[in-house]
């Protein structure tokens, strides 16, 4: 694969920009960090490490990553009131070409005041697999409630509550009290403001909401708010393999 195409595919700019970076000696390739000034030089892309203007990168055919979303960020490319989560990512991830769009996309959304695990990718099949309610991918939430949580409220969440725009009851896949004012809630679908509306339906109110797990992947304890990291191949496989 030509070096120019490798840089372009990884989001380092247009083909013209990538050619300029290479010709100006800003690109080092391989474990020895050899400067390559030929944009048409052929390299084996798989697992290729390279450096662009001091930024180290490894070739990835598709981007799969997790982000610890902090409060005060919107999951939108064009936020209305708060900063975008995409500003937390390096430029190449925001510029990766993918059809008519560009950059990685969030797999579902979290409200601006909700924190926790968010997955992003430029792989449309991966995004659809995790977003579609047909696949029932479980998502675990830690909920802090305004009022004390009763056993009756937990039971109603498990049995199903009716939301104002959907006559079909919405049920928690799992639910357990977590302290006097907390709930650990597992859902397999993602309706608008679903957790908040479910708690309101049983007579309580969400004060804080944190997503701690998607499928079999928990939010790592050492991943701080605002930080991101690549998913491992094993994690991608676990998320996309049917049980």
Q: Tell me whether residue 111 is one of the annotated catalytic residues.
A: yes
Name the active-site residue from 111, 113, 178, 222.
111
179 contact partners, CB below 8 Å, separation of at least 6: none
The residues annotated with a catalytic role in the active site are: 111
């Amino acid at each position: 694969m030509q070096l120019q195409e490798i840089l372009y595919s990884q989001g380092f700019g247009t083909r013209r920009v990538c050619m300029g970076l290479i010709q100006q000696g800003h690109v080092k390739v391989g474990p020895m960090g050899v400067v390559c000034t030929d944009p048409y030089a052929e390299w084996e892309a798989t697992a290729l490490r390279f450096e662009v203007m001091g930024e180290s990168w490894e070739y990835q055919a598709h981007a799969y990553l997790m982000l610890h979303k902090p409060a005060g960020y919107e999951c939108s490319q064009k936020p209305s009131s708060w900063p975008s989560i995409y500003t937390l990512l390096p430029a190449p991830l925001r510029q990766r070409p993918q059809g008519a769009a560009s950059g990685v996309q969030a797999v579902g959304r979290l409200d601006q005041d909700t924190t926790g695990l968010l997955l992003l990718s430029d792989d449309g099949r991966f995004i659809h697999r995790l977003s579609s309610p047909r696949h029932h991918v479980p998502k675990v939430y830690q909920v802090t409630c305004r009022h004390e949580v009763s056993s009756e409220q937990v039971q109603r969440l498990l049995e199903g509550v009716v939301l104002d725009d959907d006559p079909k009851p919405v049920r928690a896949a799992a639910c357990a009290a977590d302290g006097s004012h907390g709930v650990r809630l597992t859902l397999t679908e993602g309706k608008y403001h679903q957790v908040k509306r479910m708690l309101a339906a049983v007579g309580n109110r969400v004060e804080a909401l944190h997503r701690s797990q998607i499928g079999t992947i928990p939010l790592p304890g050492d991943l701080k708010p605002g930080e991101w990291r690549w998913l491992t191949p094993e994690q991608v496989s676990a998320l996309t393999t049917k049980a």
